[in-house]
Amino acid sequence: MMDQFSTLGRLDMLRRLLRSRLDGAGSLEALETSPFVQRVAGSSVKGAARSVPVDVMVTPGELNDLHGTGFLVKRVFAGREGIVSLRVRDDYGGVHDFGEEAHLVPLRGARRAEVYSAALAAVRGRPVRAVYSVPYTSEDLTLAMAVSDVSGAPLCLWEMDDQCIAVPNIPRPLMREFLEKCRIRFATHAELRDAYEEAFGLAFGILPAVVPTRLVRKDPLPAWEPRAHGALLGSVWSRRWLDQLAEVLERGGERLEWYGNHQAPGLRLAPDDLAAMPIEPHGVVKEPALAEALTRHPFVVVPTSELQGEVSEAEALAALSLPGRILFAVAAAHSPVLVVGSERTPAAAFVRRHAIGDVVPYDASAFSAAAARLRRPEKQAELRENARMLAPSLSDSGIGDWLEQSIAAGAPRDDRFERLFPRAAPTRETS
């Protein structure tokens, strides 16, 4: 790892490079007082000392408990000191609770010189251990590359949801440039890893939506009287899926209790809309309470895409996404999982592979029949035992050290997660 002197020398070199490549944008001093840099310099949360080594986390929006990305990033980096969080936009009204420093760097339409100037202002004079990126936009991906370049720190990708292959929000040439600069690349599950390895010929490891060790349930659940209703867990990405699910429940005489963000802006869900559905909302529940609540439901329901008909962004996203709430329910509550949607989604594949639930289309008869099967005591015992055996593999035990050692080696330290997500084809790493 570079010492501070080396980092300062690299920053001076980058300043000279920027000065020589401004291409008419004005002086470097003018760039360093641009709106981008002012927003960086003026948004410190706690103000870590400049001499303290830091990790830099780059995401598109705020990190909080209102969405899965926030949960996962906070979980993996829990207890780690010296974190600077950079984001390119606000999606949740500025609600952010991660890192010693948190900076908004609105880079839409910015040129590369401006991005590098913002990166210089964010890390000037401090040693950087690593740069982590969870990319959803071109801007946050470009910012992560700039921070890595100006600091000399290794760049690490954690791909949670595709924004380049099935969902073409990030141009492939830019993604390739980014991937080739990475010291290590992770995807959360097999289908996403396999698709990116096939598209870019570069090796990816697996870092799934791990579950806090303290919440991983090791022993079988004691005898209990479950509630009659299943649980709807986590965010629902598409209003269409929610409406379809509500119709299925209505026709089948079923109800669900919803633990998740039912006020997500993308759903455009008015209180009267939800009141008309056979779904009781509990909102976002703290994880310990959520783990306990889920044990009282016979199964959890995860709506996803049918992968047919009109293709929206949510439909395309589902083709390569595995909702982390499935792993949480399995590890923390040994919950059977009922996926509603296509058999070809990663969610369905995970449930089938590990025999922890069932998959049905948006059909009232199919849903009701599956719900009845999952409620049978013998089926409950079978699926919950499968979940109990799987649970320890989903723990975040030692994940911080595992990640740090993997970055140093440029490859996953061991195959603890590869065993959960077997490969469909050999890795094709470029030279």
Residue 133: phi and psi, rounded to 5, are: -130, 130
Question: Model confidence over 65-106: pLDDT tens digits?
Answer: 666 676 778 777 777 778 888 888 777 677 777 777 888 888
**pLDDT band for position 313 (cuts 50, 70, 90):** low
Q: Give residue 362's pLDDT.
A: 97
> Helices 172-181 & 138-151, crossing angle to 10 degrees?
30
Query: Does residue 310 surpass a pLDDT of 60?
Result: no
Run of H or E including 184:
strand 184-187
Say how far residue 340 (Cα) sits from the centre of its chain: 21
C-alpha–C-alpha distance, residues 59 and 55, integer Å: 13
8 A C-beta contact, residue 61 and residue 87: yes
* Lookup: tokens for 405: 């050692």
3-state secondary structure of 222: coil
Q: Give residue 24's pLDDT.
A: 37
- Is pLDDT larger for residue 77 or for residue 421? 421
The partner residues of 205 in beta bridges, in order of sequence, read: 186
DSSP letter at 410 equals T
Q: Give residue 25's pLDDT.
A: 38
Arithmetic mean of pLDDT, 144-155: 93
**Percent of the chain at pLDDT exceeding 70:** 82
* Lookup: tokens for 143: 């910012």
**pLDDT band for position 369 (cuts 50, 70, 90):** very high
Q: Give residue 1's pLDDT.
A: 40
Query: Does residue 132 surpass a pLDDT of 50?
Result: yes
Q: H-type helices in 262-414, by residue range? A: 271-275, 287-294, 313-318, 324-333, 346-353, 364-375, 377-390, 399-409
- Is pLDDT larger for residue 428 or for residue 381? 381
Kindly list the structural domains of the chain, giving each domain's residue range(s) and its CATH number in brackets, ordered by start. 4-208+399-409 (3.40.50.2000), 214-393 (3.40.50.2000)
* Highest averaged pLDDT of the listed ranges 16-30, 351-365, 411-425: 351-365
Run of H or E including 138:
helix 138-151
Minimum mean pLDDT range among 5-9, 171-175, 187-191, 396-400: 5-9
> Which residue is listed with tokens 């299943």?
230
For residue 331, CA distances in Å to 373, 387, 398 come to 21, 7, 16
Query: Does residue 107 surpass a pLDDT of 70?
Result: yes
- Is pLDDT larger for residue 313 or for residue 22? 313
Q: Calculate the average pLDDT of the chain.
A: 84
Query: Does residue 321 surpass a pLDDT of 80?
Result: yes
For residue 311, CA distances in Å to 138, 172, 241, 252 come to 22, 20, 13, 27
